[in-house]
Structure 1
Amino acid sequence: MVSDRYRMHRLRSGDEWVLGTLARGNARFGDGSEQDWLPPLGSEEASKFVNDPRTVCVVAIDMATNHIAGFVYGCILYRRHTKLEHMCIYEIGVDIDHRKEGVGPLLLEGIAGEARRMGIDRGFVITSESNREAVKLYSDFGASRSPGNDLLFGLHF
């Protein structure tokens, strides 16, 4: 999938600043229930994030304004069955000014392309049934839905 308006960019070393931009603009990328501002990672943690070969973060950049229109990130997760490596998509967000512009599908194709380059052909994402936009995005992308009502529990260690 190619766009005349947006270019996809995988974060690499030197792109640590993007994480701070995403944290400061957090409310623009969510459903409105998130905090307006989240403290960004420290420089050492941001460097680890962008340099970790098992973490993939792709941003969509509006070529007219050079602003971040959206992002997706995930990580390679080892599974005990089917195939060892899967791409676990952790989060996808589209800026409020770029919704309904096709950014979500571009981001999914961007992370899928990165996964394919890494030899990974399977992945998964967890979302809430109530997040209709996400359910539609993943369904339209061709994702198969698991039966039942999965719940996600956050743990602190």
Structure 2
Amino acid sequence: MEIRRATTVADLLAAEHLYDGPPREDWAARFLASPGHLMLIAYAEDGVPAGFVSGIEMLHPDKGAEMCLYELSVDESHRRRGIGRALTEALLAEARERGCYGAWVGVDTDNAPALATYRSAGSVDEGVFAMHGWPLAGDEGRG
């Protein structure tokens, strides 16, 4: 397995089978052009994307930079091989290189595989929180 940063729209579109919905070229291009956004893709021996992790570097005037692990996905046929952990650790390494003081991820408390992956990569449980959202766009805003 090899982990590489996605640098082209083609890289992002090739991982389509790992996403929740179909990607769009314009969204992929915007993702790549957005400072602080990154996606690392794990490639199987056959060169096909086996998993990905996306992160967003977030800045604040009184806190500095931190990394949000936005999404982690591993193809079902490649699970339980350490790919999720390797991707998480690769994102954390990137966060350290960028000078981030910390990293975080929101995860459902009943998502045992994700919790196990994050714990195996050294995360600590910072407690339960409620997440609220504001839908701002129609269906065009989501896959």
Fold-level match, TM-score > 0.5?
A: yes
User: Unpaired runs of 5+ in structure 1?
Assistant: 1-5
Pair 154,18 (structure 1): closer, same or farther in 2 beyond 3 Å? farther
Find the residue that maps to 2:73 and give its secondary structure: strand
Alignment of 1:9-88 (within 5 A): 9-12=4-7, 15-23=8-16, 25-26=17-18, 38-42=21-25, 44-62=26-44, 64-79=45-60, 83-88=63-68
Find the residue that maps to 2:46 and give its secondary structure: coil
Shift of 1:22: 2.9
Find the residue that maps to 1:155 and give its secondary structure: coil
CA distance, structure 1, for counterparts of residue 131 and residue 42 of structure 2: 27
Find the residue that maps to 2:38 and give its secondary structure: strand
**Among the aligned pairs, what percent are the same residue?**
26
User: Unpaired runs of 5+ in structure 2?
Assistant: 137-143
Residue matched to 2:3: 8
RMSD value, Cα: 1.9
Number of equivalent positions: 136
Contact 2:70 2:105 in 1 (8 A): yes
TM-score when normalising by structure 1: 0.77
Pair 21,155 (structure 1): closer, same or farther in 2 beyond 3 Å? farther
Contact 1:16 1:46 in 2 (8 A): yes
Contact 2:64 2:101 in 1 (8 A): no
Residue matched to 2:74: 94
Shift of 1:56: 1.4
Find the residue that maps to 1:110 and give its secondary structure: helix
Find the residue that maps to 1:48 and give its secondary structure: helix
TM-score when normalising by structure 2: 0.84
CA distance, structure 2, for counterparts of residue 51 and residue 8 of structure 1: 20
